[in-house]
Amino acid sequence: MTLAAGDCLLSPQADNHHIHLLLAGALTVHFLSPESPAIRVVRAGLSVGELSVIDGNPPSAWVVAREDSRVFRIHRDLVNRLIGDACPLARNLLGILAHWVKTNTVRMVEHQTQIETLTHHAHLDDLTGLYN
Protein backbone atom coordinates (compact mmCIF):
# COMPACT_ATOMS: atom_id res chain seq x y z
CA MET A 1 0.00 0.00 0.00
CA THR A 2 1.35 3.45 -0.83
CA LEU A 3 0.69 6.66 1.07
CA ALA A 4 1.29 10.23 -0.01
CA ALA A 5 2.72 12.72 2.49
CA GLY A 6 -0.11 13.85 4.77
CA ASP A 7 -2.30 10.75 4.28
CA CYS A 8 -3.82 9.39 7.48
CA LEU A 9 -3.14 5.67 7.89
CA LEU A 10 -4.75 5.07 11.30
CA SER A 11 -7.33 7.01 13.30
CA PRO A 12 -9.15 6.48 16.61
CA GLN A 13 -12.37 7.07 14.69
CA ALA A 14 -11.95 3.99 12.49
CA ASP A 15 -11.41 0.31 13.21
CA ASN A 16 -8.04 -1.11 12.26
CA HIS A 17 -7.73 -4.62 10.83
CA HIS A 18 -4.02 -4.64 9.93
CA ILE A 19 -0.54 -4.39 11.33
CA HIS A 20 1.26 -1.99 9.01
CA LEU A 21 4.95 -2.69 8.44
CA LEU A 22 6.68 0.40 7.07
CA LEU A 23 8.81 -0.56 4.07
CA ALA A 24 9.86 2.95 2.97
CA GLY A 25 9.24 6.53 4.07
CA ALA A 26 8.30 7.86 7.48
CA LEU A 27 5.13 8.06 9.57
CA THR A 28 4.26 10.24 12.57
CA VAL A 29 2.09 9.34 15.57
CA HIS A 30 -0.24 11.97 17.09
CA PHE A 31 -2.49 11.62 20.14
CA LEU A 32 -4.93 14.52 20.51
CA SER A 33 -5.54 15.12 16.81
CA PRO A 34 -3.72 14.59 13.51
CA GLU A 35 -2.60 18.23 13.76
CA SER A 36 -1.17 17.91 17.30
CA PRO A 37 2.61 17.64 17.68
CA ALA A 38 4.00 14.24 16.72
CA ILE A 39 5.03 12.14 19.68
CA ARG A 40 6.92 9.61 17.58
CA VAL A 41 8.43 9.25 14.14
CA VAL A 42 8.23 5.74 12.68
CA ARG A 43 10.98 4.78 10.24
CA ALA A 44 11.28 1.93 7.73
CA GLY A 45 11.44 -1.49 9.36
CA LEU A 46 9.04 -0.61 12.20
CA SER A 47 5.31 -1.18 12.40
CA VAL A 48 2.13 0.51 13.62
CA GLY A 49 -1.33 -0.77 14.48
CA GLU A 50 -0.23 -3.72 16.58
CA LEU A 51 -2.14 -2.80 19.72
CA SER A 52 -5.47 -2.30 17.98
CA VAL A 53 -5.05 -5.60 16.13
CA ILE A 54 -4.28 -7.40 19.39
CA ASP A 55 -7.05 -5.87 21.52
CA GLY A 56 -9.67 -5.49 18.76
CA ASN A 57 -10.36 -1.83 19.59
CA PRO A 58 -9.81 1.24 17.39
CA PRO A 59 -6.31 2.76 17.40
CA SER A 60 -5.48 5.11 20.27
CA ALA A 61 -3.66 7.58 18.01
CA TRP A 62 -3.52 9.01 14.53
CA VAL A 63 -0.75 7.78 12.26
CA VAL A 64 0.05 10.14 9.38
CA ALA A 65 2.51 9.78 6.50
CA ARG A 66 5.31 12.29 7.08
CA GLU A 67 6.50 11.70 3.53
CA ASP A 68 5.54 9.42 0.66
CA SER A 69 5.59 5.94 2.18
CA ARG A 70 5.00 2.26 1.45
CA VAL A 71 3.54 -0.16 3.98
CA PHE A 72 2.99 -3.91 3.98
CA ARG A 73 -0.30 -4.84 5.65
CA ILE A 74 -0.80 -8.01 7.70
CA HIS A 75 -4.47 -8.77 8.37
CA ARG A 76 -5.71 -9.29 11.92
CA ASP A 77 -7.10 -12.76 11.11
CA LEU A 78 -3.66 -14.04 10.11
CA VAL A 79 -2.04 -12.54 13.21
CA ASN A 80 -4.72 -14.02 15.48
CA ARG A 81 -4.42 -17.42 13.81
CA LEU A 82 -0.63 -17.47 14.17
CA ILE A 83 -0.69 -16.37 17.80
CA GLY A 84 -3.70 -18.51 18.76
CA ASP A 85 -2.32 -21.63 17.10
CA ALA A 86 1.03 -21.19 18.81
CA CYS A 87 -0.29 -20.64 22.32
CA PRO A 88 -3.69 -19.42 23.56
CA LEU A 89 -2.04 -18.20 26.77
CA ALA A 90 0.24 -15.93 24.73
CA ARG A 91 -2.83 -14.43 23.03
CA ASN A 92 -4.41 -13.64 26.40
CA LEU A 93 -1.20 -12.13 27.76
CA LEU A 94 -0.80 -9.96 24.67
CA GLY A 95 -4.35 -8.69 25.15
CA ILE A 96 -3.65 -7.75 28.75
CA LEU A 97 -0.39 -6.01 27.84
CA ALA A 98 -2.05 -4.11 24.98
CA HIS A 99 -4.73 -2.86 27.37
CA TRP A 100 -2.13 -1.70 29.91
CA VAL A 101 -0.08 0.11 27.27
CA LYS A 102 -3.13 1.91 25.88
CA THR A 103 -4.41 2.84 29.33
CA ASN A 104 -1.04 4.22 30.40
CA THR A 105 -0.66 6.13 27.13
CA VAL A 106 -4.04 7.81 27.63
CA ARG A 107 -3.02 8.79 31.17
CA MET A 108 0.29 10.23 29.97
CA VAL A 109 -1.47 12.33 27.32
CA GLU A 110 -4.00 13.58 29.89
CA HIS A 111 -1.18 14.50 32.29
CA GLN A 112 0.80 16.25 29.54
CA THR A 113 -2.27 18.27 28.58
CA GLN A 114 -2.82 19.23 32.21
CA ILE A 115 0.83 20.26 32.60
CA GLU A 116 0.60 22.45 29.49
CA THR A 117 -2.58 24.11 30.79
CA LEU A 118 -1.10 24.76 34.22
CA THR A 119 2.13 26.08 32.69
CA HIS A 120 0.11 28.48 30.56
CA HIS A 121 -1.77 29.73 33.65
CA ALA A 122 1.50 30.13 35.58
CA HIS A 123 3.05 32.24 32.82
CA LEU A 124 0.05 34.35 31.86
CA ASP A 125 -2.29 36.25 34.18
CA ASP A 126 -5.85 35.25 33.24
CA LEU A 127 -7.32 38.57 34.43
CA THR A 128 -4.96 40.97 32.66
CA GLY A 129 -3.53 38.80 29.93
CA LEU A 130 -0.04 39.93 30.93
CA TYR A 131 2.93 37.66 31.48
CA ASN A 132 3.73 36.92 35.13
DSSP letters spanning 65-128: ESSSEEEEEEEHHHHHHHHHHH-HHHHHHHHHHHHHHHHHHHHHHHHHHHHHHHHHHHHB-TTT
The answer to pTM > 0.85 is: no
Computed on alpha carbons and rounded to an integer, the radius of gyration of the chain in Å comes to 18
Lowest mean pLDDT among 7-11, 13-17, 117-121: 117-121
Residue 24's SS3 state is strand
Whether the pLDDT of residue 7 is over 80: the answer is yes
Q: Which pLDDT tens digit goes with each residue over 41-58?
A: 999 999 999 999 988 889
Q: Which pLDDT tens digit goes with each residue over 81-107?
A: 887 776 777 777 888 888 888 888 878
Whether the pLDDT of residue 127 is over 80: the answer is no
| DSSP type of residue 54 | H
Name the residue with higher pLDDT: 59 or 89.
59
